[in-house]
């Protein structure tokens, strides 16, 4: 019988370099007021490389799960800003962490982590791996023109990771929705060696609609209502998009994970960064239903409903389920 899988660890990594709106105000024709009002972003982190950030986030997720690198049988890295065109950045991360098994990259831009999550669950179900390290990492600042106020204020760098472990008694993944409208692929592009070009208003309009539609489809497939969701983890592009989507879904903001104010839009990293922050804050408990929705360049989207399995309450006795037996080979 194919195994289900549950998330047993999480971690994140951000560059040390904090760039505030005041820093941007000093060198661009923009204001803190414009950026906060239009996007909700107050600061972001810029620097590092995808492989370094992904390695750090991955290391923290493995520690949290109590899983050793040698026990990992598959690494899936979601990124649209790989260190090199070839080879996949997952190869460097696999080596840096000393993992076992295979590794591959996924590029679905800002929905990449949720696509990678679905691929990881699929790999467990297929019997390809019992422990998967799943990372979303991007240095989007490498794609933006630092002098272009339309994009430089929005995008930034970071990484988030989770460990997925086979669990024969728990499906873990309840439902998914994947989609892409390739007819709109030219709304957000970056040519090789070029910088990012975006039709912001149209992307905004689609983002809200697509997030709501995709989240609703995933909920319907899981035979759940928005009120059943303990935590909604949307792509962190813009606080206005998040608030509009949550409002239309009928999910109150106290059940929404938000980090965009301090991270900016980190593309593939945004959903796992928001998930890890919520878990670190003890906002999730065993049995909680988590809805994740990504959208972005493509225009691609992806939603997943998962059942959370571990206690995140800080303090003695907390920790991943099965941590005591996690060192078994």
Q: Which residues contact 26 (CB under 8 A, 6 or more apart)?
A: none
User: Taking the chain, what is the end-to-end CA distance rounded to the nearest angstrom?
Assistant: 21
- The only residue of 203, 215, 259, 277 in contact with ligand COA, by rule CB under 6 A: 203
**Closer Cβ to ligand COA, 15 or 296, answer by number:** 296
* Alpha carbon separation from 301 to 179, 233, 238, 292, 311 (Å, rounded): 5, 13, 16, 11, 29
Q: Is 110 in the site for ligand COA (CB under 6 A)?
A: yes
* 296 belongs to the binding site for ligand COA (CB under 6 A): yes
Out of 150, 184, 224, 230, the residue judged to bind ligand COA by CB under 6 A? 150
222 or 237, CB closer to ligand COA? Answer: 237
β-pair partners for 163: 9, 133
Concatenate the DSSP letters of all residues of 163-218 into one string: EEEEETT---EEEEEEEE-GGGGGGEE--TTS--EE-HHHHHHHHHHHHHHHHHHH
107 binds ligand COA per the rule CB under 6 A: no
Is residue 303 involved in binding ligand COA (CB under 6 A)?
A: no
The interface mask with ligand COA, positions 221-240, x = CB under 6 A, is ----------------xx--
**Interface with ligand COA includes 300 (CB under 6 A)?**
no
Nearest to 251 by CA among 299, 280, 304, 292: 292
In the complex, minimum distance from the CB of residue 297 to ligand COA, in angstroms, rounded to a whole number: 6
Q: State the Cα torsion 165-171-173-176 to the nearest 10°.
A: 140
Check binding of 204 to ligand COA (CB under 6 A).
Answer: yes
In this complex, which beta carbon is closest to ligand COA, that of residue 51 or of residue 265? 265
Is 96 a residue that touches ligand COA (CB under 6 A)? no
Q: Using the minimum distance from each CB to ligand COA, give the nearer residue, 271 or 289.
A: 271
For residue 45, the minimal CB distance to ligand COA (Å) is 17
82: Cβ–Cβ under 8 A, 6 or more apart, which residues? 50, 88, 89, 105, 107
Active site residues: 110, 235, 265
Which residues of the chain form contacts with ligand COA (CB under 6 A)?
30, 34-35, 38-39, 110, 149-150, 153, 198, 200-201, 203-204, 207, 237-238, 265, 296
């Amino acid at each position: 019988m194919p195994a289900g899988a549950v998330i047993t660890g999480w971690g994140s990594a951000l560059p040390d370099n904090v760039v505030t709106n005041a820093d941007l105000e000093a060198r661009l024709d923009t204001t803190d007021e414009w950026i906060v009002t239009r996007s909700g972003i107050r600061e972001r982190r810029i620097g590092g490389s995808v492989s370094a950030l992904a390695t750090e986030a991955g290391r923290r997720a493995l520690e949290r799960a109590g899983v050793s690198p040698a026990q990992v049988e598959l690494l899936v890295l979601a990124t649209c800003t790989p260190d090199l065109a070839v080879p996949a950045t997952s190869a460097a991360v696999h080596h840096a962490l000393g993992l076992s098994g295979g590794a591959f990259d996924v590029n679905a831009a800002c929905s990449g982590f949720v696509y990678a999550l679905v691929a990881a669950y699929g790999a467990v179900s297929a019997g390809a791996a019992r422990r998967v390290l799943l990372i979303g990492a991007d240095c989007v600042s490498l794609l933006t023109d630092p002098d272009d106020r339309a994009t430089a204020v929005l995008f930034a760098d970071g990484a988030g990771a989770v460990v997925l472990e086979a669990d024969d008694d728990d499906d873990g993944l309840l439902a998914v929705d994947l989609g892409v409208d390739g007819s709109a692929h030219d709304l957000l592009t970056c040519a090789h060696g070029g910088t990012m070009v975006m039709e912001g208003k149209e992307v905004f309009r689609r983002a809200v609609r697509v997030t709501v539609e995709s989240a609703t489809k995933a909920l319907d497939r899981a035979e759940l209502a928005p009120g059943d969701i303990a935590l909604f983890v949307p792509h962190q592009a813009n606080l206005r998009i998040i608030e509009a989507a949550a409002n239309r879904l009928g999910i109150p903001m106290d059940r929404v994970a938000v980090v965009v104010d301090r991270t900016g839009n980190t593309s593939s990293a945004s959903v796992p960064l928001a998930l890890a922050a919520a878990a670190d804050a003890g906002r999730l408990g065993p049995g909680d239903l988590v809805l994740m929705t990504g959208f972005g360049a493509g225009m691609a989207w992806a939603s997943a409903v998962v059942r959370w399995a571990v206690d995140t309450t800080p303090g003695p006795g907390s920790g991943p389920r099965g941590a005591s037996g996690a060192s078994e080979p």
